Structure 1
Amino acid sequence: MMTKHMNFLGAAGLIPFAGLPLLVLMQLVSVYEGVAWFTIYSALILSFLGGIHWYDALNRTSSVSQLYIAMLPSITAFTVLLFTQGATTLILLKVSFLALLFYDFRQLQMNAHYLRLRTLLTGVVIGCHIAMLWLS
């Protein structure tokens, strides 16, 4: 039962990632607005993904360092938004999603469905970053 909800919510979370490049492509929003909104949403989701490491660390008493690492996606997202713009922001966020996925596989003790879903969602997110880069 939980798997169905994970799939639905994961797919729903992709709507802004896929929708904003489409809105730019259809010229319903300007490139400037589309990139700005896209990068804000991207940073929010990157921050959100740190939470799974916080949860995992709390359930494994031997992983205090993981609590600190769980904060890196939020700090990275904030720093990227604060100090970069345009294509640089999109590239750094894209690389951060990919790096976090690799770290997830190395560190998380989650079920196989979560890791498969996370891989699929991250693939779409990276593709959407590439599309937004192309459009900008």
Structure 2
Amino acid sequence: MFLLIQRCCFHTPFNLQKLTGPKLLLYGKSKTTWSCLGLRLQRDVCSVSRPPNLNPASVYATKLQAFHTSLPSFKKKTPKESETKQPGVLQRSIQLLKDSPKPARYLSLAGLIPFVSVPLSMAIQGTYYPELAFAQITYGAVTVSFLGGMRWGFALPENSPAKPDWLNLANSTVPAVVAWQALLFQDTTLGAVMLVIALGIALHYDTALLPPYPRWFKVMRVTGTVVMVLSLLATAVLKAASEMELINKRNKWENTK
């Protein structure tokens, strides 16, 4: 009966009951037996009252894990494809010009020679030639008329995305009319200004109003228009410089009298 009460109340293991049972019966009044029993009961109570998460094995594993935990390593992130450096506008334009058909590229470059050669020759010789300036205006008027008529050739085919309506066909005649007006001016400076306006109108039609044009053609049109406009303005500046020089010479000659 005593063994049953001891097992139920103190949760004493079976081995402890087996060892201490006879000792309690034989040496009930022995101090050694009671001290041994108290020590065993104290160990069992401590083991029962200790939370399961604080057992020695878990504490040791936690310490071992904390000991071997290292700081997070900061690795260099590889740049994504979208974050890579994109080529600039100038590089893309040059690449599109290289990818354009050779006949279109070479003929366009050859067509810019009369524009560039006029102000370049006058700047090298240091003299303004009105005949060369008028020849440049005439060639510019022919070029602008060609650029305007290109819309007719684009809109007339049956499978073309541009319809041969009043808007497309009438707009193609506007640059030609402005170029004809430039030839009527006796002053080459006014003629150059009118051609610059006509070139701007034609460029707006080709780049904004007709999106189906290939990208290389649009880049070629922008490049050619910039070169033609700069050449015409350079001729106008050379004319203004020559006129200022003539005025200064006349003033000096009048002062010497």
Question: TM > 0.5 between the two?
Answer: yes
CA RMSD of aligned residues (A): 2.0
**Structure 2 stretches lacking a partner, 5+ long:** 1-98, 240-257
1:25 pairs with 2:126: no
The TM-score with structure 2 as length reference comes to 0.49
Shift of 1:30: 4.5
What are the superposed Cα offsets for residues 105-128 of structure 1, whole Å, 9 maximum, x if unpaired? 122221111111111111111111
Output the CA distance in 2 between the equivalents of 1:30 and 1:129.
13
> Is this contact kept in 2: 1:31–1:135, CA < 8 A?
no
Q: Which residue of 2 aligns with 1:34?
A: 132
Amino acid at match of 1:93: L
1:86 pairs with 2:188: yes
What are the superposed Cα offsets for residues 75-115 of structure 1, whole Å, 9 maximum, x if unpaired? 22112212452211111111211222122112222111111
Amino acid at match of 2:104: M
Q: Which residue of 1 aligns with 2:145?
A: 47
Amino acid at match of 2:141: A
CA 1:75 to 1:117, structure 2 compared with 1: closer, same or farther past 3 Å? Answer: same
> Is this contact kept in 2: 1:101–1:118, CA < 8 A?
yes
Query: SS of the residue aligned with 1:70?
Result: helix
The residue correspondences of 1:6-17 to structure 2 (distance < 5 A) are 6-17=104-115
Q: Which residue of 1 aligns with 2:178?
A: 76
Amino acid at match of 1:123: V
Query: SS of the residue aligned with 1:71?
Result: helix
Size of the aligned set, in residue pairs, is 136
Structure with the larger RCO, 1 or 2 (CA within 8 Å, 6+ apart): 1
CA 1:28 to 1:54, structure 2 compared with 1: closer, same or farther past 3 Å? Answer: farther
1:125 pairs with 2:228: yes
Output the CA distance in 1 between the equivalents of 2:165 and 2:155.
7
What are the superposed Cα offsets for residues 20-39 of structure 1, whole Å, 9 maximum, x if unpaired? 11122233974211211110
CA 1:68 to 1:84, structure 2 compared with 1: closer, same or farther past 3 Å? Answer: farther
Output the CA distance in 1 between the equivalents of 2:205 and 2:149.
14
Where in structure 1 do 4 or more consecutive aligned residues deviate above 4 Å?
A: none
Q: Which residue of 2 aligns with 1:106?
A: 208
Amino acid at match of 2:233: I
The TM-score with structure 1 as length reference comes to 0.89
Amino acid at match of 2:170: Y
Between the two proteins, what is the percent identity of the paired residues? 28
